[in-house]
Chain A
């Protein structure tokens, strides 16, 4: 499978989303693959505004029409606030494009770097100094 993956998604049941709440505190390299960048397009279904990392869940509709749920790890809430993102910045149902890095275990999980909204506005959603590749997204 190409590392540069464009998906278009659809949804997850609320129960499974909430149960997927993660408080993982780990280094980027422990869970995510710096050699597996990906781009996902999907509708936001859940935002976990929690420490130590915020999580954004999206529904991607694949080319065959089936839907996949993905969970995207963001920076700390404090970091996101400094970048102008709060827990209400992205409404549930909003279509976003996420650039990030795929989980090493190849589950539908990724470390997010940038979010791009439908109007073209791009926001950095990660954290600096995490071990993620220096791609200039946080500059």
Chain B
């Protein structure tokens, strides 16, 4: 639960900005061409919002197989599933954060990948809501495919993902 609170707090920080002065500045900017005030660059979104959230999804699906048997990683309580649902929601929201003006590197390619992240996050969110461990595992794989596709195009000399 603490994990999901941290993730959501990070997201809110990223979305809102914090201080009244920043909010005033943001309102000023709204009078301009964009209603958005960026609260971090793409790297920040990755490190502070997406990475912790996607770990919450990946760590909650799959199997550990030993001679003693198989341990499934899926949550076993409603509270656990809700925490995963929260993480998945942040993953989906991260895709939209990447689409904000000032973050997109180009138009179509960036948009498609960002929207793919939203879709994959929503799949994971639905799987968690339905407490469907197989669907959650598959959604986790789809999230990774989106990550890899993005890094293969936009990250040069990438050492953050394979």
Q: Mark B127-159, 1 if CB is under 8 A from A, else 0.
A: 000000000010011011101000010000011
Known: A76-B141, A77-B137, A129-B152. A46 touches B162 (CB 8 A): no
Which residues on A sit within 8 Å (CB–CB) of B65? 46-49, 87, 92
User: Roughly how many angstroms separate A93 CA and B65 CA in the complex, as a whole number?
Assistant: 11
Q: Which residues of B contact A92 (CB under 8 A)?
A: 65-67
Shortest C-beta distance, B116 to chain A (Å), equals: 15
Among residues of A, the one whose C-beta sits closest to the C-beta of B59 is: A23
| Count of chain B residues near A, Cβ 8 A | 27
* B interface, over-half SS: mixed
With a 10 A CB-CB cut-off, give which of A25, A76, A127, A132 has the most chain B CB atoms: A25
B71 A51 Cβ-Cβ under 8 A: no
* Top-8 shortest CB links A-B: A50-B62, A30-B159, A130-B162, A51-B140, A52-B144, A47-B65, A27-B159, A78-B141
Those of A90-126 within 8 Å (CB) of chain B: 92-93
Smallest distance from the beta carbon of B147 to chain A beta carbons, Å?
Answer: 7
List residues of chain A with CB within 8 A of the CB of B145.
Answer: 76, 78
Pairwise interchain contact A27-B68, C-beta atoms closer than 8 A: no
Write the B45-85 contact mask toward A (1 if CB under 8 angstroms, else 0). Answer: 00000000001011101111111100101000000000000
* Residues of chain B lying within 8 A (CB to CB) of residue A46: 64-66
| Nearest CB in chain B: distance from A137 CB, A | 15
The residues of B that contact A87 with a CB separation of less than 8 Å are 63, 65
* B52 nearest CB across to chain A (Å): 11
Tell me the bound Cα distance from A42 to B93 in angstroms: 44
CB contacts (< 8 Å) of B67 on chain A: these are 14, 45, 92-93
Partner of A50 from the list B61, B158, B161 (CB cut-off 8 Å) is: B61
Q: Are B162 and A51 in contact (CB under 8 A)?
A: no
B21 on the A face (CB < 8 A): no
